[in-house]
Structure 1
Amino acid sequence: MTDQTFDAFIVKEIADKQYAGRVEQTRVRDLPEGEVLIRVKYSSLNYKDALSATGNKGVTRTYPHTPGIDAAGHVEESRVPVLAPGDPVIVTSYDLGMNTAGGFGQYIRVPADWVVPLPGGLTLAESMILGTAGFTAAMSVEKIFDIPVDAGPILVTGATGGVGSLAVAILSKLKYEVTAVSGKKETGFLKTLGASEIIDRRAFVQNNGAPILKPRWAGVIDTVGGDILATAIKSARAWGKVTCCGLVASSDLPITVFPFILRGVSLFGIDSQHYPIAPRQALWKKLAHDWKPDNLKDMATHITLHQLPTAIDNMLNGRLKGRTVVNLG
């Protein structure tokens, strides 16, 4: 089916350092090499997609390009015996949507070892409400999962974003007490996810100049970096565990070693892109069952490929909450 045409959201450099994306027709034969061709039914919008769509060369080196680091659909063609035409599958992370044509197109072709069979308990649409954001949240929860539920509150920063909101929902499902940090004024959304306390982002970093602060958090899932991550580390309890997966606030970490050597605080970096396939499949099964948020469908807004430019602009300007699922059907 090399001559098959399909719709894709293609980003081009329209002038020097000016980029724009629109839905165009392309062909299956123009996709990169790979053992598995997938008909994409759903994708989702992530911050990395927004950066790729606006010409960030740290994410995508060459254009024209189709972003979309998440994709869910059915196998169309396969050169490996473990995947057959018609199988429902998920592809997230690796190089998808970065320098490999991604899920904002109705077809992708990828290496077989990028592909995860859709676990029972999840629909294709639900898998993209989760997507890379949900998988990253689950990786973060897994790092702190040995903290007893009665050890104290777990802090989640950037809590209205994709990773943050899903982390709040998963932790709440697991019966942890969750405190959320957010810069948005709406609190109802976070309350419905299970947050017991909500702290304004500006108030959280006030008076944080001391090298170590009053201990509060048994664990932390940070999604933004910068002063917020530094404040969270300084105020972690003895032997507290802190995960870090984002840098939207800053890539700098203004902190001393005191929280680490005086309280034994641990800091874990979360990298979903290179997570090995076997534990990846196991974690997806958790997300399909015991860790699946009860209110998953309420966390998502659904859009079409043609609505991506507005959604991307809203994401870059902090006007989105929860997850944005792209319907390619």
Structure 2
Amino acid sequence: MRHGGPELPPSCTATEATLLFVTVLAEAWRWGLPRHEVIELLPAVERALGALRAGVAEGSDGPEGFVLDLGRSAEERAARPAAARCEVQAQAYRAAMHGAELLAAFGRPGAAGWRTWAAALRERFREQFWVDDLSGGRPAAALLAGGRTVPAVASTFVHLLDVGLSTSGDLHESLLDREQTRLLAQRLAAPELDCGWGLRTLSAKSPRFNPLGHRSGAVRVHETALAVSGLADAGFEREAGVLLEGLLGASEYFEGRPPEMYAGEQRVTGSPPVPHPAACRPAALSAAAGVHLILALAGVRPDVPAGRVVVRPASTTPLGELQLTGLRVAGEPFSVRVSRIGVAVVEEASPQLQLGAG
């Protein structure tokens, strides 16, 4: 179980791990994981999708048609209706879309059904998970039985942004429409969530805000990294740059080895960020966030099954010139340089790949 913060009960980490397994395998396949290794893991993908299907609320056990905590049985949900969390819907949506692509590519049944299910979830989410307010609106942190929303403003919204490539080479359509994504981008870069060192896990305006709370205000490095990459992909580079600058500023105080989380106190000149006393340092997740950020800014999106790799660098180049070497795509070395004006030049790649730019 993982602490869910003051707004929501704890959640089972198996939910996140099960759904993200499908996405991780799909991404590895696109980077060039050998076909026979993907085939060996497809039964696990089908079991993960089966768990997803069993986790969809029906009737009185939760909000109809949305995905609940996979760690609770149907009997438990019926006895105590559960909340459908915003981030779980995003992870379930990705799992359905990526799972459908894996099933179709390897001749397994069920791909069309999962695409249909994902499209229906997208429509329901846009209608029921959106909270209107004076700023234009925002996603709900969760949906309760009967359609009641948990209106908390939280960093878990970032999971709605990056949904990966489709088979056409473009990004999948998000659970949010374009206008909703724009409003979310503005919210993420506002002081309510952005403390100047990264994203708080809970809005500073919440009466339950605690700058050192695991889910009530501390900055979690990997979620800020997800926000930067997702915003850059969606075309909101200004907002992405604001969050990136804060994360890099905090990293300097931690000598490039940020803990998994630190205090979400407002950034003040001469006052360094405060590491969480219980945080791992270094932490694998926060260390990997740096790699994720650089790849996102360079815009490297391989699709080995389709025989191509797309490079869409951020045009604002907040880190200046970038050079990535030592990568492997389709089992071959891959190197790319991004200039200070956002022009990408692939310097080394497999001859089997067609190169494209965005």
- TM-score of the alignment, normalized to the shorter chain, above 0.5: no
Higher strand share: 1
Give the TM bin, normalised by the shorter chain: under 0.3
TM-score by length of 2: 0.25
TM-score by length of 1: 0.26
Higher helix share: 2
